[in-house]
Chains A and B, each alone.
Chain A
Amino acid sequence: MDHSYNNKFSPETVADKHKSVLLSPELKKNQEVLTQRLAGCFDFMQREFSFGSPPVKASIIFFEGLVDKRQIENSLIKSIFINCNIFFRKEQNSEPSHADLLDTLKNKVLTLAEVKTVDNYEDIILQISSGDTVLLLDNCASGLVIGTRSWAARAISMSENETTVFGPKESFTETLISNTAMLRRRLKSSSFKMERLTIGRISQTSVCFCYIENIAPPALVANVKERLSQIDIDAILDTGYLEELITEEPYSIFSQAMHTERPDRVCGNLLEGKVGIMIDGSPMVLVLPVTFPQFANAPDDYYINYIPATLLRFLRIAAFAVSLLMTAVFVSLLTYHHEMIPTPLLLTIISARQGVPFPAFVEALLLETTFELLREAGLRLPNAIGPAVSIVGALIIGEAAVQAGLVSTPMVVVIAFSGIASFVIPNYNAGIITRIMRFVFLIAAGLLGLFGIMITFILLITRMASVSFFGIPYLSPVAPFNNKQIFDILTRRPWFSNTLRPWQEGMKNQKRYEPKPAPSSKDKKGASNES
């Protein structure tokens, strides 16, 4: 039994077995080899034809569903038929070699935009799997790869997970090339680089990492490239795989990269010296390195006036604290620190908690778990019934539970409020951290009250302060404190004074633009002056 696939470090892989087997000059043999290799693939198509005088046998191979057949018909086969016959009638005396024929086809006949040569079976299979068409000629040990990619893909639509009121609405799709196109349209500079790798022994996924050359630290780019190239896995189906495979802290719950499906957000981060990683087949792009305070930033911040943007940022920071601590603090007050509750509120709570059979801690745990279940169920349900079930779950079950005396109304309100606060966090990854840590804080509160909450808080920030991703401390610029950058986190600087990018070690160019004085009312030329 072949165990080579079980050992990820085994040098022998499926691809390795067939690597570098060159094409045969005989067309028939090539066809036989390819048919044999791709046996069982019903979408594998071959179309034989001949052209010219004397006739030259040729074959085109492709996977149905990945190609634009019209392009094959009009730009490939038709070009060959029309042009080659005309061309060869002129030069009847000389019989060009088939290698020359290939060159002629490539340089003078074919009207398609993308034409490359290929000389081994593995590359042929890779290319036709990517949607290209391969043209093979008889008596020629090379073939031509013609770009005919076209498949039914999801159209560019609005982002479902990162909605904004202002600003661009389009989001990435599963097609790498359209994603790169969206970025290229926004960053029309020669220093905007996109490098491509292929990762995954079976999936052979195209992975593209992009950066802006004179802004991103070279060490970061090299680090990311090295980590990506060291990945050894059978398939990459989403960018989430990459995050775990290139991380420095594999056992950390903290999100080490930002996942986004918005091209404007990726461009904004690239302009701050970060690196973006995207793959073919996933609309999510990884942006790294990211620090925890940056999770409070939303794309909207940069599209509205800086004053409301700053206030909204404060709201998000407060919402983060509320979603993390509110339930735990409430449980600790109810269980240990009754004297802190204002007397009128205490009277309400006493009345509400009459007859509830569970201690506050258990009640909170049950409600939190129910809330998480509802949240997960809402994600899995079909769109048609999802909202209805969420409303049913939240309202009716909550109402029924309160009326049955299983839970108290104040606890339901607290859980709901902290749940809503968790939705305010713009980043899903940060939200997940909050959801997990909320339970930890709740347990600590149930055991030791406010003291337990503080112990957990100290442990949490110690852990976060000790973690660095790609050389950047996770709590930067809060810890280590950077007074210049801290305002970028707490406030949104107005564009007229936002001259510097957030600093990263090794960054070459921190200046966005030369500082100018803020626009003032004295600069205005009113109508009275013009008269």
Chain B
Amino acid sequence: MEKISSFQLKCLIALLIIPAAFFEEGPLLTAVLKNNAWLVPIGIILPGWLLFKMYLYIFRQNNISFPEAFNEHLGRFWGKIITIFYIFYFLVLCSYILRIYFEFMKINLLLTTPISVLFFLMLFIGFYALKKGINNIARLSVIIFALTIFLNIFLISNCIINGFKWDNLQPILSDIPFKASLIAFFGLIGVLGKAMTVFTLADFVAGDKEKTIKSSLSTVLIIFSLVISSTLLSLCATLHPSIIPSLSSAVLTMVRTAHISYFIQNIDILFISVWICGIYITLTIFWFSASILTQKAFSLRDNRFFLASSGIFIALVSASLSSTSLGLFVWTTKFMPFLNNCFFVFIPLFIFIKSLIKNYLPNKHNNESLSIKK
């Protein structure tokens, strides 16, 4: 089977974390940091790089493969337990992304369409893509990445040209509360940490896996910072930080102000329609990762049965996440940052420290034995 090339992997990882970040991080960062929200994605570059280095360290010894690394570091039993948690979490992430995107669409667009229809359609095309295989999803990701990045650049530049107010961004770097910075930092690092999912795809990567994944993660870190910070910058400059926290979707409100000579207006629908491609890839990758982990954890021959049943699971969890959009907002600002950090920061950190200690201890043991010999 054709393997995923380096360029395809970069596009995959970028689409894994960027589309959903618009929904997840926009409201949180602007609520806590107001006009300085756009600085956080720039400041996250160094911590993000360290985070990725940590991931590479954890997975390096096990051929960069996800579940094997947990088995190696935590033992077979605990490794399997943790893997199962990750499987469920990936499915929960799929449900959350699905729900938050369609909630956003229901608010702004297709008001009469039942949300179940939208869920079904999205899961159907995701299922179809997964049946075709990860290499096809990787091929698609190149096309979709190009589309979404082009649109993002167009919209940001349009908003900047039409309504940029430098005054809205001031005062820059002034009076940032420490608690707010921590919340913003952990919120964003949790989103960035979703890139850890790429290690489930390690077996499908062509060439030198470690080198490919390393370079992909570095590139994506820069792209992520640029895209999110430019979006937040134009958001704050166009709409003013005082109004952003009260908006359901500040990015969409900003996009609604975009126009081409006042002739072509309300191009937010175009934005939403192309955005759905990015969400589709995000959903599909998490779903695929869950199925691969399941296949490896339980030594299944193929994952077709899992795909069908997990699709139903995703739809049900999506529908039951919250009955109101305000409840979903609580998920976005409280539960998801906490869960993201648990799974993508704290658990890997714990494993990293354990691994460091384990590697350090044999040296101590050798020194003692030498002294005895003396």
List residues of A whose CB falls within 8 A of some B CB. Answer: 336-337, 339-340, 342, 344, 448-451, 453-455, 457-459, 461-463, 465-466, 473, 475, 478-481, 483
Kindly state the separation between the CA atoms of A449 and B109 in the bound complex, as whole angstroms: 10
> Contact string, B159-174, partner A, CB cutoff 8 A, digits 1/0?
0000000000000000
The stretch of B79-87, B132-140, B364-372 in contact with A is B132-140
- The residue of chain B having its C-beta at the shortest distance from the C-beta of A453 within the complex is B273
| Cβ B7 vs Cβ A466 within 8 A | no
> Contact string, B108-127, partner A, CB cutoff 8 A, digits 1/0?
01100100001001100100
Kindly state the separation between the CA atoms of A454 and B109 in the bound complex, as whole angstroms: 14
> Contact string, B88-102, partner A, CB cutoff 8 A, digits 1/0?
000000000000000
- The residue of chain A having its C-beta at the shortest distance from the C-beta of B131 within the complex is A466
In this assembly, does B154 line the interface, its C-beta being within 8 Å of a C-beta of chain A? Answer: no
Q: With A342-B263, A453-B273, A454-B276 in contact, is A462–B142 under 8 Å at CB?
A: no
Known A451-B273, A479-B140, A480-B8; further 12 A-B contacts with Cβ < 8 A: A448-B110, A449-B109, A450-B269, A450-B270, A450-B273, A451-B118, A461-B140, A462-B140, A466-B132, A473-B2, A480-B135, A481-B139
In this assembly, does B5 line the interface, its C-beta being within 8 Å of a C-beta of chain A? Answer: yes
In this assembly, does B49 line the interface, its C-beta being within 8 Å of a C-beta of chain A? Answer: no
Listed by A's residue number, 26 A-B pairs whose Cβ atoms lie within 8 Å are: A336-B109, A339-B269, A340-B264, A340-B266, A340-B270, A449-B109, A449-B110, A450-B269, A450-B270, A451-B276, A453-B273, A454-B274, A455-B121, A455-B276, A458-B125, A459-B125, A459-B128, A462-B125, A462-B129, A465-B132, A466-B136, A473-B139, A478-B142, A480-B2, A480-B5, A481-B8
State the Cβ distance, A80 to closest chain B Cβ, in Å: 64
Instruction: Give the residues in chain A near B122, CB-CB below 8 Å.
Output: 455
Kindly state the separation between the CA atoms of A458 and B277 in the bound complex, as whole angstroms: 7
In this assembly, does B63 line the interface, its C-beta being within 8 Å of a C-beta of chain A? Answer: no
> Chain B interface secondary structure, helix, strand, loop or mixed?
helix
State the Cβ distance, A174 to closest chain B Cβ, in Å: 40
Instruction: Give the residues in chain A near B276, CB-CB below 8 Å.
Output: 451, 454-455, 458
Kindly state the separation between the CA atoms of A27 and B135 in the bound complex, as whole angstroms: 67
| Cβ B263 vs Cβ A462 within 8 A | no
B266-287, CB < 8 A from A: 266-267, 269-270, 272-274, 276-277, 280
Kindly state the separation between the CA atoms of A462 and B142 in the bound complex, as whole angstroms: 12
| Cβ B132 vs Cβ A462 within 8 A | yes
| Cβ A475 vs Cβ B139 within 8 A | yes
Kindly state the separation between the CA atoms of A321 and B106 in the bound complex, as whole angstroms: 28
Q: With A451-B273, A455-B121 in contact, is A342–B264 under 8 Å at CB?
A: yes
Q: With A450-B269, A458-B125 in contact, is A479–B5 under 8 Å at CB?
A: no
- The residue of chain B having its C-beta at the shortest distance from the C-beta of A342 within the complex is B263
Kindly state the separation between the CA atoms of A222 and B128 in the bound complex, as whole angstroms: 33
In this assembly, does B143 line the interface, its C-beta being within 8 Å of a C-beta of chain A? Answer: yes
Instruction: Give the residues in chain B near A478, CB-CB below 8 Å.
Output: 142-143
| Cβ A342 vs Cβ B269 within 8 A | no
Instruction: Give the residues in chain A near B105, CB-CB below 8 Å.
Output: 451
Instruction: Give the residues in chain A near B273, CB-CB below 8 Å.
Output: 450-451, 453-454
Closest CB pairs A-B (n = 6): A479-B139, A466-B132, A465-B139, A339-B266, A466-B136, A450-B273
Kindly state the separation between the CA atoms of A475 and B141 in the bound complex, as whole angstroms: 13
Instruction: Give the residues in chain B near A339, CB-CB below 8 Å.
Output: 265-266, 269
State the Cβ distance, A296 to closest chain B Cβ, in Å: 15
| Cβ A340 vs Cβ B269 within 8 A | yes
State the Cβ distance, A44 to closest chain B Cβ, in Å: 56
| Cβ B7 vs Cβ A462 within 8 A | no
State the Cβ distance, A417 to closest chain B Cβ, in Å: 18
| Cβ A466 vs Cβ B266 within 8 A | no
Kindly state the separation between the CA atoms of A483 and B7 in the bound complex, as whole angstroms: 10
Instruction: Give the residues in chain B near A483, CB-CB below 8 Å.
Output: 7
B230-289, CB < 8 A from A: 263-267, 269-270, 272-274, 276-277, 280
Kindly state the separation between the CA atoms of A2 and B122 in the bound complex, as whole angstroms: 54
Kindly state the separation between the CA atoms of A448 and B114 in the bound complex, as whole angstroms: 11
State the Cβ distance, A235 to closest chain B Cβ, in Å: 36
Instruction: Give the residues in chain B near A340, CB-CB below 8 Å.
Output: 264-267, 269-270
- The residue of chain A having its C-beta at the shortest distance from the C-beta of B264 within the complex is A342
